[in-house]
Amino acid sequence: MEELYGKMAEGLIAADVEGVSKLVQEGLDKNLSAKEILDNGLIPGMDIVGQRMKSGEMFIPEVLRSAKVMQGAIVLLKPHLSEEDSCGLGTVVIGTVEGDLHDIGKNLVSMMLQGSGFNVVDLGTNVKPQDFVEAAKSNKAHILGMSALLTTTMPKMEETVRALKESGIRDQIKIMAGGAPVTQKFVDDIEADGYGANAASASEVAKELII
Ligand code: B1M
């Protein structure tokens, strides 16, 4: 099986949509579980993509193509992921804050979280603090994730933390924030719980937050 998993990872890095779909189907036909395929083939591939992005060996358009292949593979695997596998780690409500329309990084983070076993409720972009609160409540979220790419929209993160406090659910949820202008210091200052510098570290931080 190692060879099949290796090919899946290579196909993901090369953004080979058809190749990866075929390999995932081959794995399912060989009775591999969706979780095994994710854990041993696709996620290690996505980890390499994340590392190459960090070191400047891969650029955003290539990363997005790989992310799209990952998303396609997840669609194929979704019917085979048991309730326990896909939601095992908990629910994350995620969105880009009010006034901000950047969603490429947030979508990558969503996919990585999904790939890691979280149930992800993606609210999209331009999400008002109150809408984050309502979605966190109605989905009984374990983690609330906010993304911001503009220095002008970062204050919306603090407003959202305040809205969560005012709603009385702050103590029941972990708050994560990220995006190019966001720093660990900013996250500490607004009294959020976790900072993700990139999609790969975001899923690591999310796992740490719920342990
Ligand atoms: Co805009 N934009 N943009 N933009 N844009 C930036 C952010 C900017 C830095 C460009 C620049 O001037 N150098 C600048 C912001 C300056 C600032 O505030 N300091 C800027 C500006 C000014 C603007 C407009 C105001 C331009 C204008 O209209 N005059 C406007 C604002 C619109 C709005 O939002 N209201 C605008 C518009 C746009 C487009 C629509 C054209 C497009 C967005 C398309 C889309 O997202 N669908 C766009 C783009 C593409 C960019 C740049 C070029 C690329 C952003 C991106 O996708 N990066 C950006 C310059 C740059 O960053 N180099 C820029 C790739 C992505 C994978 O990285 O989003 O950082 P990133 O996500 C990473 C991490 O940050 C982290 O993980 C991700 C994956 O590794 N992460 C999280 C993100 N969210 C996280 C959440 C987490 C954890 C980690 O936990 C929950």
Written as one string, the DSSP assignment of 83-105 is HHHHHTT-EEEEEEBTT----HH
Measured between alpha carbons, how far is 100 from 107 in angstroms, rounded to an integer? 14
pLDDT at 210 over 60: yes
Query: Which of 15-24, 76-85, 168-177 is the least confident region?
Result: 76-85
Give the 3-state secondary structure of residue 128: coil
Ligand 1 atom with the shortest distance to the CA of 63: 67
Of 60, 44, 56, 51, which is closest to residue 11 (Cα–Cα)?
44
Ligand 1 atom with the shortest distance to the CA of 103: 46
Q: Could you count the other beta carbons within 10 Å of the beta carbon of residue 66?
A: 26
* Distance from the alpha carbon of residue 62 to the mean position of ligand 1, in angstroms: 17
Q: Which residues line ligand 1 (CB under 6 A)?
A: 60, 94, 99-106, 108-109, 145-147, 149-152, 176-181, 196, 198-199, 202
pLDDT of residue 82: 55
pLDDT of residue 26: 97
Residue 58 is given by DSSP the state: S
pLDDT in tens, 35-76: 799 889 998 998 899 889 889 999 989 988 998 898 888 888
Residue 81: pLDDT band with limits 50, 70, 90: low
State the alpha helices, DSSP H only, in the chain.
2-13, 17-29, 34-37, 43-54, 60-77, 83-87, 104-116, 129-138, 155-167, 184-189, 199-210
Architecture of the structural domain at 2-82: Orthogonal Bundle (1.10)
Give the 3-state secondary structure of residue 53: helix
Q: How far is CA 195 from CA 2, 79, 95, 174, 190, in A?
A: 34, 32, 15, 11, 11
pLDDT at 103 over 90: no
CATH 1.10.1240.10 residue spans of the chain: 2-82
* Distance from the alpha carbon of residue 164 to the mean position of ligand 1, in angstroms: 25
| Residues 6+ away with beta carbon under 8 Å from 120 | 91, 92, 94, 110, 113, 114
Probe target for ligand 1 pocket from 102, 111, 116, 203, with the most ligand atoms within 8 Å of CB: 102
Probe target for ligand 1 pocket from 92, 149, 157, 193, with the most ligand atoms within 8 Å of CB: 149
What's the whole-number average pLDDT of the chain? Answer: 92
pLDDT at 83 over 60: no
Fold of 88-210: Rossmann fold (3.40.50)
Radius of gyration for the chain, computed over Cα atoms and rounded to the nearest angstrom? 17
Q: How far is CA 134 from CA 47, 130, 137, 169, 191, in A?
A: 33, 6, 5, 10, 20
Of 112, 96, 102, 121, which is closest to residue 48 (Cα–Cα)?
112
CATH 3.40.50.280 residue spans of the chain: 88-210
Ligand 1 atom with the shortest distance to the CA of 99: 35
